[in-house]
Amino acid sequence: MSEEFPGYKGEALKLLKKAKAEIGDIVRVIKNGETFEGILIPRSEYGDEKHIVIKLRSGYNIGICITLTTQIEKVGVGVKPTFAASLLPEQRPDLPKVTIISTGGTIASRVDYRTGGVRPALSASDLYSVVPELSEIARIDAEILFSLFSENITAKHWAEIAKTTARHIEDGVAGVVIAHGTDTLGYTAAALSFALQNLPVPVIMVASQRSADRPSSDAATNLIGAVKAAAKAPFAEVVVAMHETVSDKAIVFHRGTKVRKCHTSRRDTFQSINASPLAKMENEKFFILVKDFNKRDSSRNLVLKPIFDEKVALVKFSPSLDPQLIDWYVSKDFKGVVLEGTGLGHVGGYCFSAVKNAIYNGVLVAMTSQCIWGRVNMNVYNQGRDLLASGVIPLEDMLPETALVKLMWVFGQTSDVDEAKRLMLTNIAHEISPRSLHEGIREEKP
Amino acid sequence: MSIDYSKIGLKVGLEIHQQLDTSEKLFCSCTPQLFKDEPEITFLRRLRPTQSELGQIDPAAFFEFQKGIRILYEANKETVCLVEMDEEPPHDLNMEAVETSLVVALMLDGNPVDEIHVMRKTVIDGSNTTGFQRTCVIALKGDVKVDGKRVPIQHVSLEEDAARKIDEKGSVIRYRIDRLGIPLIEIATAPVLYSPKEAEKAALAIGRILRATGRVKRGLGTIRQDLNVSIPDGALVEIKGVQELELVSKAIELEVQRQLNLLKIRDELKKREVTAKSIKEKYEDVTSIFEKTKCRVVQKAISDGKQVLAVLLPKFAGLLKTELMPGVRLGTEMANRAHFWGRVGGIFHTDELPAYGITDGEVRELRELVKAESEDAVVFVADNLENATDALRAVVERARETLLGVPEETRGANPDGTTRYMRPRPGAARMYPETDVPPIRINEEYVHKLRDHLPELPKRKMKRLMKEYKLNEKLASQVLNSEYALLFEEVASESAVSPTTIAAVLTETMKALRRDGVELDKIRNEQIEELFSFVGAGKTAKEAIPDILTWLSKHERASVKAATESLGLTMLSEAEIAKIIIDLLQENAQLVKERGKAAFGMLMGLVMRKVRGRANAEMVNKVLRRKLEEFVRKS
Ligand SMILES: [Zn+2]
């Protein structure tokens, strides 16, 4: 692999180097008496080393297999695209200030049609030029914190995001928008819900399911919804702003502790589990969907608690689970284990002694359910009662992922197990709903 | 009017699009079929023009976006999954479709590419839920022969068919996405066709090759021709979606006619000394004139609180009504533009007034208000201020273009061969790689194998059809051009029916039935084979074929036996025929007595009318002759 020749290796790379052709140059390939001419295009990393890819004049790419007699000539130098941004709109001083923090996941991008590259647009001027509507909503300040795929984001990054967000809030912005990849967005949203308490203004997390380079992307609609909410929504909580359905109609705001990615690809992948979304926005109007919520109040003082302890694990019980897995966590000095049990909150009898051993060793063991929807109740069956008796903490209707994040946060606040137990059962950021309502699990919409 | 096209310098290039008959769609496993019922799923989208690296956005596309265009998609569960809804990445490229495309490319003597790269071609009119069409080049070069002339093929590519537009109401465009994703092969020729007839012949020759594979869909809408037409003094105009082969030459003829007429208008305007500057972007509110108008469209607009806005076109009087091609005047072109940019229903212009309830008095007032002289034309629209302004701005722009001659544009084909303005010609194709679909390696061995088993080329097949089946040249050629070219041989080699009859049914009868609106696509090959075996075995008469086919088209998957029974077309036995004849002889006893055996001809006619479709003529002839003889002898 080579820096100047992305994706090219072996034979193909040798020939290209010999021809002194760079990506974007016009090359002529002569093979078995046939001549091909076009722009040299980067090759996929996973492609073989026998083909080179050119873009024909018609705009199509083709791959040409290199043979012993294949010749490559450079016949023209590629013109490097220089981005000429359209004039930036005047910043309207009467508009509220909103900060957009990017952590990765491209919420806006532009395409280099010449080589096929897609580049993220992250700076404020980039965002204005790709989504010009933003300039009518708020004065945008953009900060690029990380450029990470969301699966690479860990508890350490949550702390950074929380601190950065707090800094902007203390600077007096009307709201903060955080762009994040969708895969682990739910975890980060839960983490910020615990780390940023007593919020004066909203913190809106946003993402997209369809890449921003395509005209049908949900990115711009979600971003506009998020910025509008940051600028003027009546609530001040950590929420995730995404499509409500597969239509480009309403943006829905899910509470950070109750939200889960439920579909690998759909736009409406995020769902509020065991709770109603906090609000939605349709036709420029906000509709609050819950009874009690933290109202926007810029005079309120933010409380920042950004410490997380990573010595906490989430264990999904499944048939034949080797109990030594739990023993391993104990031996590695983990402070807590969240079990994702079956049904109302159970694990196989063959895991009981491992669970008891963990608790005996001072590890906090809590129970959630892999059913996703519903509340654990360990009083109904003997299995549950046994676990309860051994000191397993039932976490009501808390999402397993939220429970993991919360336990990390709790051990960031205290190292006392009893205090940790108390905190786990205290409703801090709407992670526990006292009542289980009928709504929620996919209802047939009329 | 006969035109010497070579003298004009006409150049035509073809892009033939044909749906392939695969079992699944191009990037998912949905059934490649259309549905007619109410949609089970609907969703609403907007398409945002994406920015290129150079910060450019397609102006027409961005304009549409700013107008708040929304797209309502309709789907059902059988023909659409999340892939077509752009809610799931595409699956792997359908290799059945790749193989058919390779076969076509090899029959055209093209060079398959070593590695197929799927591209995204930006299309944001809503016809693709993603905002781009997935397309890939399968082969380059090759040629097709037209009257001995070699017409080079530029490429054979494979792409996903687009969604079907249903209608457009206000700012909502409705599309049905059943068709989206059906594999479509595209064959593009070089622009070296110099007359409408030559272009039609080339289209025909390519069509024959496609059908020779036996792996393409048939029926209206499954093949669509795009034409790139240009004349040196005119412009390159792209005509999209010519659905019938017969229309190719007509559409070209009409386009040439349109361009020549536009050039005449240009010259006339030059004579009248009109300049671009003299056409002013001055839009005047003339609502007051029409407060009490009898014209319903204007009346309704005003009562809805909208305005009437007018613009003066200096020295254009008489030109707006100039016919460019049948039913299309310069005024129509302006109306199409006004509709595209302003989304207005239509425009009014003084060349066609008074009419539509607008009085002479109103026209006079209008002319006075905008200070129009008698040689000037006035155009006006009734809509909200924004739409009306956009519409008139488009009218002014179109008027200015008239001074230059023919504007480059993309036009849509109408069913009668005329065309309508669709949109400005898009800039250089904005294509970038479809990274969700890995490139596909085409190895030489595979290509060799396909090359060794290519279907028979049409030219050779023509000769063989004439020799083996004794078809005359016209019929053989019709068979080759028909969608049943392959079926013909299957039937003819097995059925006792004469090949000429089979050929005539599969070409002429089928064509007539289609013209009468019979949905032939509903009839399966097996049913047609069964029908001929019925006719061959004497179970039904060949005269009954059209009725049976019509019945079959309305009863999907029913048997031919059921058809003949339901239509009362089962063959009569000899005894039944004899009974009918005896009854007839008795009814006409007087006549038979007078004329004796000479009554045969008339009687034959009477019997045949009674048994039509249920008995063959030879049998009737034989029985009638015998019974008549007996009858004459007895009496
Ligand atoms: Zn599908």
Say what the pLDDT of residue B1 is. 54
Least CB–CB distance from B50: residue in A82, A215, A248: A215
DSSP type of residue B20: B
Residues in chain A with CB shorter than 8 Å from the CB of B136 are 60
CB spacing of A63 vs B124 below 8 angstroms: no
How large is the angle between the packed helices B458-468 and B196-212, nearest 10 degrees? Answer: 70
Q: What long-range pairs does B365-373 form, CB within 8 A, spacing at least 24?
A: B365/B289, B366/B286, B366/B289, B366/B310, B369/B284, B369/B286, B369/B289, B369/B310, B370/B284, B370/B286, B370/B310, B370/B311, B370/B312, B371/B312, B372/B312
User: CATH number of the domain at B275-402, out of 3.30.750.24, 3.30.1360.30, 3.10.105.10, 3.90.1150.10?
Assistant: 3.30.1360.30
C-alpha B163 – ligand 1 centre gap (Å): 12
In the numeric block, which tokens belong to residue A214? Answer: 């395509």
The residue assigned the tokens 């020759």 is: B205
What's phi and psi for B446, nearest 5 deg? -60, -45
DSSP characters over B170-237? TTEEEEE-SSTT-EEEEEEE-S-B-SHHHHHHHHHHHHHHHHHTT-B--STTSEEEEEEEE-TTS--E
Instruction: Please give the DSSP secondary-structure letter assigned to residue B542.
Output: G
Residues of A in contact with B52 (CB under 8 A): 110-113
State pLDDT tens for residues A131-142. Answer: 888 989 999 999
CB within 8 A of B286, min separation 6: which ones? B308, B309, B310, B366, B369, B370, B380
Q: Which amino acid is at B429?
A: A
Task: Please report how the helices A185-195 and A155-170 are oriented relative to each other, as an axis angle in degrees rounded to 10.
Answer: 50
Closest-CA residue of B relative to A119 is B53
Alpha-carbon distance A122 to nearest alpha carbon in chain B (angstroms): 14
pLDDT at A1: 43
> In A, residues 205-234, which contact B (CB 8 Å cutoff)?
209-210, 212-217, 220-221
Burial class (CB in 10 A: 0-12, 13-18, 19+), B519: middle
Q: Which residues pair with A364 in a beta bridge?
A: A336
Positions in chain A whose pLDDT score sits under 70: 1-3, 80-89, 440-446
Q: Do B45 and A248 touch (CB under 8 A)?
A: yes
**Token representation of residue A337:** 């284990």
Rounded CA-CA distance B230/B553 in Å is 42
Active site amino acids of A: 106, 182-183, 261
Separation of alpha carbons A179 and A365, rounded Å: 33
Find the B131 Cα to ligand 1 centroid distance in Å: 17
How many residue pairs bridge chain A and chain B with CB atoms within 8 Å of each other?
152
Contacts 24+ apart (CB under 8 A), B595-598: B596/B632, B597/B628, B597/B629, B597/B632
**pLDDT per 10-residue tile (average), chain B, 635 residues:** 85 97 97 93 92 66 77 96 97 97 97 96 91 96 94 97 92 95 97 96 94 88 93 93 90 96 96 94 94 93 94 95 95 94 91 92 94 95 94 95 94 94 76 90 95 89 90 90 86 89 92 88 89 86 88 89 84 85 87 83 86 80 88 79
Closest Cα in chain B, distance from residue A354 (Å) = 42
Gap from CA of B30 to ligand 1 centroid (Å): 4
Question: For chain B, what are the domain ranges?
Answer: 5-270+429-433, 275-402, 456-567, 574-634
Q: What is the pTM of this model?
A: 0.86
From ligand 1's centre to the CA of B158, what distance in Å? 17
Rg (CA), chain A: 26
How many Å separate Cα A63 from the centre of its chain?
Answer: 35
Distance in angstroms (rounded) separating the CA atoms of residues B479 and B461: 10
Contacts (Cβ under 8 Å, ≥6 apart) of B218: B21, B483, B484, B521
A446 contacts chain B (CB < 8 A): no
Find where tokens 């070296």 sit. Answer: B192
Alpha helices in B443-524 (DSSP H): 444-452, 458-468, 473-481, 485-494, 499-504, 510-515
Crossing angle of the two packed helices B525-536 and B560-567, in degrees rounded to 10: 60
In angstroms, the CA B244 to CA B439 distance is 34
DSSP state of A438: S
CA A91 → CA A87, A137, A139, A200, distances in Å? 12, 10, 6, 24
**d(Cα A299, Cα A296) in Å, to the nearest integer?**
9
The angle formed by the CA atoms of residues B420, A58 and B150, to the nearest 5 degrees, is 85
Q: For residue A166, give every residue at least 6 positions away whose Cβ sits within 8 Å of its Cβ, in sequence order, or none.
A: A196, A302, A304, A306
Distance between Cα B88 and ligand 1 center (Å): 9
- Name which of A44, A113, A444 to mutate to probe chain B: the one with the most chain B Cβ atoms within 10 A of its Cβ: A113
Alpha carbon separation from B588 to A129, B608, B618, B633 (Å, rounded): 94, 15, 22, 16
Pairing mode of beta strands A97-102, A175-179: parallel
> Chain B residue closest to A31 (CA)?
B114
- C-alpha of residue B82 to centroid of ligand 1, in Å: 6
pLDDT at A310: 97
Interchain contact, A216 vs B117, CB within 8 Å: no
User: For residue A169, which phi and psi values (nearest 5 degrees)?
Assistant: -65, -40
Residues ≥6 apart with Cβ < 8 Å to B401:
B407
B309 in Cβ contact with B283 (< 8 Å): yes
Interface contact flag, B113 A247, Cβ < 8 Å: no
Interval between CA B518 and ligand 1 midpoint (Å): 29
Structure tokens at A125: 């001027």
Q: Do B87 and A58 touch (CB under 8 A)?
A: no
B25 CA to middle of ligand 1, Å? 7
Partner residue opposite B86 with nearest CB, options A130, A216, A220: A216
Which residue in A130, A245, A265 is closest to B51 by CB distance? Answer: A130
Write the single-letter amino acid at B494.
E
Report CB contact under 8 Å: A249, B87: no
CB A280 within 8 A of CB A252: yes
Spatial separation of the C-alpha atoms in residues B210 and B217, rounded to whole Å: 10
Contact check, Cβ <8 Å, A63/B115: yes
A84 close to B (CB below 8 A): yes
Q: Please name the residue of chain B whose CA is at the shortest distance from the CA of residue A48.
A: B441
Closest chain B C-alpha to A146 CA, distance in angstroms: 22
Instruction: Please indicate whether, in this complex, the C-beta atoms of B50 and A214 are within 8 angstroms of each other.
Output: yes
Q: What is the pLDDT of residue A81?
A: 61
Q: Which residue of A has its CA nearest to B49?
A: A215
Which of A63, A210, A267 lies nearest to residue B117, judging by beta carbons?
A: A63
A window 43-62, beta carbon within 8 A of B: 44, 46-48, 51, 53, 55-56, 58-62
Q: Mutation target for B interface from A49, A55, A58, A222: give the one with most B CBs within 10 A.
A: A58
> Chain A residues with CB inside 8 Å of B48's CB?
215, 217, 220
Across B110-163, where does the E strand assignment appear? 111-112, 115-116, 119-122, 132-140, 143-146, 149-160
Please indicate if any CB of chain B lies within 8 Å of the CB of A86. yes
Q: Which of B82, B154, B433 shows the shortest C-beta gap to A265?
A: B82
Mutate to test the interface with A, among B42, B51, B135 (most CBs of A within 10 A): B51
- Distance (Å) from the C-alpha of residue A297 to the closest C-alpha of chain B? 34
Q: Do B52 and A220 touch (CB under 8 A)?
A: no
Going across the sheet that includes A279-282, the strands are A139-144, A97-102, A175-179, A203-206, A238-243, A251-255, A279-282, A285-288
Please name the residues in contact with B293: beta carbons below 8 A apart, sequence gap of 6 or more.
B299, B302, B357, B358, B359, B362
Contact B566, B551 (CB under 8 A): yes
Distance A252 CA to ligand 1 centre (A): 27
Give the separation between CA B255 and CA B612, rounded to whole angstroms. Answer: 48
Residue with tokens 């007595």: B593
Please choose, from the candidates A30, A34, A31, A36, the residue with its C-alpha nearest in 3D space to the C-alpha of residue A61: A36
Helices B600-611, B574-587: axis angle to 10 degrees equals: 130
**Do B87 and A56 make contact, defined as CB atoms within 8 angstroms?**
no
A35 touches chain B (CB under 8 A): no
State how far the alpha carbon of B469 is from the alpha carbons of B286, B465, B475, in Å. Answer: 73, 5, 11
Q: Specify the pairing of strand A117-120 against strand A109-112.
A: antiparallel
Chain A nearest C-alpha distance from B436 (Å): 11
The three-state secondary structure class of B150 is strand
Residue B160 Cα to ligand 1 midpoint, Å, equals 11
Alpha-carbon Rg for chain B, nearest whole angstrom, is 31
Give the Cα separation of B298 and B95 in Å (integer).
56
Provide the 8-state DSSP code for B507: I
Task: Tell me the residue type at A318.
Answer: S
Contacts of residue A421, Cβ cutoff 8 Å, sequence gap at least 6: A364, A393
Around Cβ B121, how many Cβ atoms within 10 Å?
18
Distance between CA A423 and CA B504 in Å, rounded? Answer: 87
- Total H helices, total E strands in chain A: 10, 23
CB spacing of B46 vs A267 below 8 angstroms: no
At position A262, the amino acid (one-letter code) is C
- Contact in structure between B57 and B124 (CB atoms under 8 Å): no
Dist CA B419 CA B405 (whole Å): 18
Tell me the domains of chain A and their CATH numbers. Answer: 10-76 (2.30.30.520), 97-304 (3.40.50.1170), 312-424 (3.40.50.40)
- Unique residue bearing structure tokens 């707090």: A166
